[in-house]
C-alpha cells in the first residue's frame, strides 16, 4: 500500500470548536484528500465481507452519509470509502486482517473532536467507529479502577465513577463529546493535569487490536507491573497508528470532597505567573491554575461577560481541592499569596455558585473569541512552567509582526498554553500570515525548552512540523517501531510522519 502523505503545512488549521465551517480553510472540498482515487475498500466484494463481519445495519457505504466521519474539530473533510461500527475486538480483528489481505487503510474514530485530524481518513479506506462499544464494564471501588469499552464519553465515565465516590482526573475540554478511547489514543490532558497528571498516568491496562489483527491485553489492573516492555504506555498516545484500543482499565482515586477557586487580576502576565512557584513554595499544588492574557480579557469584556479593572493585564484562576477543611485553609492561603504578589480585584468562592461564576470568564472565552475571526488557529504549546511569560510575550510579538490578533490562555501550572491566532476564513492572505505566526510560535516554544503539542497530538495537522521538535534519529526510531508493528501501513496512514 502506498503511504503517500497528504498532509501539508496548509492543514495547520483549527476551526472555532463549536462552529461547522462550510468552506474549509485550505480549500479542501468534500472529497478525499488523497491522490489515490479508490482503495480496495471500495470494491463490492470487500464491502460484502465487511458486511459479513459487522452486519448489514452496521456499515455505511452511501457517500451522502460519509460527512460526519470525514472530519474532526479541524473541519477539513476527507471522505472514507466505508464506515463500519463493530461490536467488539474480534470483529475489529477480522476487519484489520481483511485490510492486510487486500490492502486498504483503517482509521479508528472515537468522538471525532480532535484538533489534529487523528480520526480523519486522509488516505481513504475505512473508518472504524467505536460508537457501539460504549459499555462501562466494571467500576471496582476496592481495586480503585474502572474497566471500560472505548466508546464511552469521558464525561459519562467521570459521572459514573463519581457516583461511586471515585475520581478520574484527566479532563480535556472536549470531555462531553470525546470518547475515552480517543483520549487514550491521544494521551489527552486538561486543566487538572498540573496536580493529577495526564491520561497516561491513569491507564493500567489495555486490550488492543494490533495492525496485524492480533488481539493483545497489555498491563493489568495494578499500578505496579513490570512484566516486559511497557506496551500500555507505547499504545497510549500512539494516535491510532500502532493499535486500536478495544478495552481499557483505568486507575481511579478517591473523589476529593470539595474545591475552592480564587480569581485575581494582575497588572502583568509576569506578575500572575510569579504566583506559581510561590504556591509551590507554600506546598500548595492547585488542581487548576489558569491564566488569561490581556487580549483574552479584552475579548471577554467586549462580549459583555465581565468588566475588569482598568490596569488588569492578566488574570489568574487558581483552584484547590481536598477535604472541606483543607480547601478552606488552602483557599485562604492562595488568596493571601495572590494578593501579596500584586493580585487585585481578588475573589474567593464562598459557594458552589461562586465557583461557577468565577470560571465564567474562562468558559466564555471560546464563544467570545469568535468575533475576532472566523478561523482560529488554536495551538497547544507547552513550555517549562517558568517560561510561560516569555512564551506569551513572544507569541504576542509574532502576532503583532504579522498583523494578526492573538489570544493566549491556558494551564500555567503545567506550562501548556493555548496560543490562538485569529483570522478570516475567506482571506487567503490573512491565513498565510497566520500560518507564519503558527510556525514561528512553534519555534518559540522549542527555543524556550518546550514543544509543539501538549494536548492535541500530531495527526496530519502538525505532521509537517514534527521535525522542528524531534531529531531525525528520534523520528527514525518511531518509524522503526511503526514498521515493526504495522509492516503494511494499514493503521491510520498519512499521520505523524511526512
Instruction: Give dist(CA 59, CA 44) in Å, integer.
Output: 13
Which residues in 288-327 contact a copy of itself (CB under 8 A)? 323, 325-326
User: And the C-alpha cell for 482?
Assistant: 511503526
Instruction: Give dist(CA 317, CA 286) in Å, integer.
Output: 10
Kindly tell me which residue out of 97, 136, 234, 306 binds a copy of itself, with binding defined by CB under 8 A: 234
Residue 6 beta carbon to a copy of itself: minimum distance, rounded to whole angstroms: 19
Which residues in 120-149 contact a copy of itself (CB under 8 A)? 140-145
Taking alpha carbons only, the member of 133, 17, 35, 130 closest to residue 71 is: 17
Taking alpha carbons only, the member of 174, 129, 133, 127 closest to residue 152 is: 133
Task: Tell me, rounded to whole angstroms, the distance of Cα 217 from its chain centroid.
Answer: 25
434 contacts a copy of itself (rule: CB under 8 A): no
Kindly tell me which residue out of 3, 137, 162, 254 binds a copy of itself, with binding defined by CB under 8 A: 254
Which residues in 2-31 contact a copy of itself (CB under 8 A)? none
Q: Dihedral sign, CA of 431, 433, 439, 445?
A: negative
Three-class SS state of 203: strand
Kindly tell me which residue out of 50, 99, 106, 198 binds a copy of itself, with binding defined by CB under 8 A: 198
Kindly tell me which residue out of 45, 62, 351, 473 binds a copy of itself, with binding defined by CB under 8 A: 473
The secondary element (H helix, E strand) that includes residue 347 is strand 344-348
Cβ atoms 112, 179 nearer than 8 A = no
467 contacts a copy of itself (rule: CB under 8 A): no
| Residues that contact a copy of itself, how many (by CB under 8 A) | 93
Kindly tell me which residue out of 54, 231, 320, 419 binds a copy of itself, with binding defined by CB under 8 A: 231
Which residues in 147-166 contact a copy of itself (CB under 8 A)? 165
Residue with cell 461511586: 164
User: And the C-alpha cell for 133?
Assistant: 462499544
475 contacts a copy of itself (rule: CB under 8 A): yes
Give, to the nearest 10 degrees, the angle between helix 89-98 and helix 44-54: 170
Kindly tell me which residue out of 100, 153, 183, 236 binds a copy of itself, with binding defined by CB under 8 A: 236
Q: Is 150 exposed, middle or buried (CB count within 10 Å of its CB: 0-12, 13-18, 19+)?
A: buried
Binding segment for a copy of itself among 185-193, 260-268, 290-298, 308-316 (CB under 8 A)?
185-193
Indicate the residue among 109 and 192 with the shorter CB distance to a copy of itself: 192
Binding segment for a copy of itself among 1-9, 197-205, 294-302, 420-428 (CB under 8 A)?
197-205
Indicate the residue among 153 and 236 with the shorter CB distance to a copy of itself: 236
256 contacts a copy of itself (rule: CB under 8 A): yes
Cβ count near 427 (within 10 Å): 15
Indicate the residue among 47 and 251 with the shorter CB distance to a copy of itself: 251
Amino acid at each position: 500500500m502506498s503511504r503517500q502523505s497528504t498532509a501539508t503545512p496548509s492543514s495547520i488549521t483549527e476551526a472555532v470548536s463549536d462552529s461547522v465551517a462550510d468552506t474549509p480553510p485550505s480549500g479542501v472540498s468534500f472529497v478525499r484528500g488523497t491522490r489515490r482515487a479508490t482503495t480496495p475498500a471500495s470494491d463490492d466484494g470487500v464491502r460484502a465481507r465487511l458486511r459479513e463481519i459487522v452486519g448489514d445495519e452496521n456499515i455505511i457505504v452511501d457517500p451522502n452519509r460519509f460527512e460526519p466521519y470525514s472530519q474532526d474539530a479541524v473541519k477539513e473533510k476527507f471522505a472514507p470509502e466505508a464506515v463500519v461500527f463493530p461490536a467488539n475486538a474480534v470483529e475489529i480483528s477480522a476487519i484489520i486482517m481483511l485490510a492486510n489481505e487486500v490492502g486498504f487503510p483503517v482509521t479508528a474514530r472515537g468522538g471525532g473532536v480532535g484538533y489534529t485530524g487523528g480520526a480523519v481518513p486522509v488516505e481513504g479506506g475505512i473508518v472504524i467507529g467505536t460508537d457501539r462499544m460504549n459499555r462501562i464494564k466494571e467500576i471496582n471501588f476496592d481495586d480503585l479502577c474502572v474497566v471500560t469499552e472505548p466508546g464511552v464519553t469521558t464525561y459519562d465515565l467521570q459521572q459514573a465513577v463519581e457516583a461511586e465516590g471515585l475520581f478520574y482526573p484527566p479532563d480535556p475540554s472536549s470531555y462531553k463529546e470525546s470518547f475515552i478511547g480517543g483520549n487514550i489514543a491521544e494521551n489527552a490532558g486538561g486543566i487538572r493535569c498540573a496536580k493529577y497528571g495526564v491520561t497516561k498516568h491513569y491507564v493500567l491496562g489495555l486490550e488492543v487490536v494490533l495492525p496485524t489483527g492480533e488481539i493483545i491485553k497489555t498491563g493489568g489492573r495494578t499500578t505496579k507491573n513490570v512484566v516486559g516492555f511497557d506496551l500500555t504506555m507505547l499504545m497510549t498516545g500512539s494516535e491510532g497508528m500502532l493499535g486500536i484500543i478495544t478495552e481499557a482499565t483505568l486507575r481511579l482515586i478517591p473523589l476529593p470532597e470539595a474545591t475552592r477557586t480564587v480569581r485575581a487580576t494582575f497588572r502583568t502576565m509576569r506578575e500572575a505567573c510569579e504566583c506559581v512557584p510561590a504556591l509551590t513554595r507554600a506546598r500548595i499544588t492547585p488542581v487548576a491554575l489558569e491564566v488569561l492574557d490581556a487580549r483574552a480579557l479584552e475579548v471577554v469584556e467586549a462580549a459583555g461577560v465581565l468588566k475588569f479593572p482598568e490596569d488588569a493585564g492578566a488574570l489568574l484562576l487558581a483552584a484547590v481541592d481536598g477535604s472541606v477543611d483543607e480547601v478552606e485553609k488552602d483557599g485562604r492561603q492562595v488568596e493571601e499569596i495572590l494578593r501579596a504578589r500584586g493580585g487585585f480585584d481578588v475573589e474567593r468562592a464562598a459557594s458552589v455558585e461562586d465557583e461557577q461564576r468565577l470560571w465564567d470568564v474562562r468558559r466564555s472565552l471560546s464563544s467570545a473569541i469568535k468575533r475576532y475571526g472566523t478561523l482560529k488557529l488554536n495551538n497547544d504549546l507547552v513550555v517549562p512552567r517558568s517560561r510561560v511569560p516569555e512564551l506569551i510575550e513572544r507569541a504576542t510579538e509574532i502576532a503583532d509582526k504579522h498583523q494578526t490578533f492573538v489570544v493566549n490562555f491556558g494551564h500555567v501550572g503545567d506550562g501548556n498554553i493555548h496560543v490562538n491566532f485569529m483570522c478570516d476564513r475567506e482571506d487567503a492572505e490573512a491565513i498565510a500570515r497566520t500560518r507564519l505566526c503558527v510556525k514561528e510560535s512553534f519555534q518559540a516554544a522549542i527555543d524556550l525548552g518546550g514543544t509543539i503539542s501538549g494536548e492535541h497530538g500530531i495527526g496530519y495537522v502538525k505532521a509537517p512540523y514534527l521535525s522542528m521538535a524531534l531529531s531525525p534519529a528520534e523520528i527514525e526510531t518511531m518509524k522503526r517501531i511503526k514498521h515493526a508493528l504495522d509492516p503494511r501501513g494499514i493503521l491510520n496512514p498519512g499521520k505523524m510522519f511526512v
